[in-house]
Amino acid sequence: MLNEDAVSRWSLWTGIGISFLNTIIGFAILSWGINRSNKSFLISVYGGMIFRFLLIFALLFILIGALQAEMITLISSFMITYFLFLGLEVLQIHKYAEMQKD
């Protein structure tokens, strides 16, 4: 059995890992849809958001429920890195939009 420090570290890094995976999937979806029609782009963005939300919800449910991960540490590390990585996604979209103007 893992001690409390090991469980906390595992929960911390797992939250960061889930957020990183979410960002990688988001960048892949953006890369796929960015040069397509507006309709295809919006479908990829909104469909990707729904897919990623369901994936994250399922992973957190499994980790907290079945694997007894430390909930506060897991969700805190996930939320902090989620918003940081979300900022990177927004900057990427903004950068692409600026390139399209030129």
Residue 86 to residue 63: CA distance in whole angstroms: 22
Beta-carbon count within 10 A of 2 CB: 10
Quickly tell me which residue has 């902090």 as its tokens: 80
Question: What would the pLDDT profile of 2-53 be if each residue is shown by its tens digit?
Answer: 677 887 888 899 999 999 999 999 999 988 888 888 899 889 989 999 999 9
Closest CA to 43 of 35, 51, 33, 53: 33
Angstrom distance (rounded) from CA 64 to CA 70: 7
- Residues 38-48 have pLDDT tens digits of 899 889 989 99
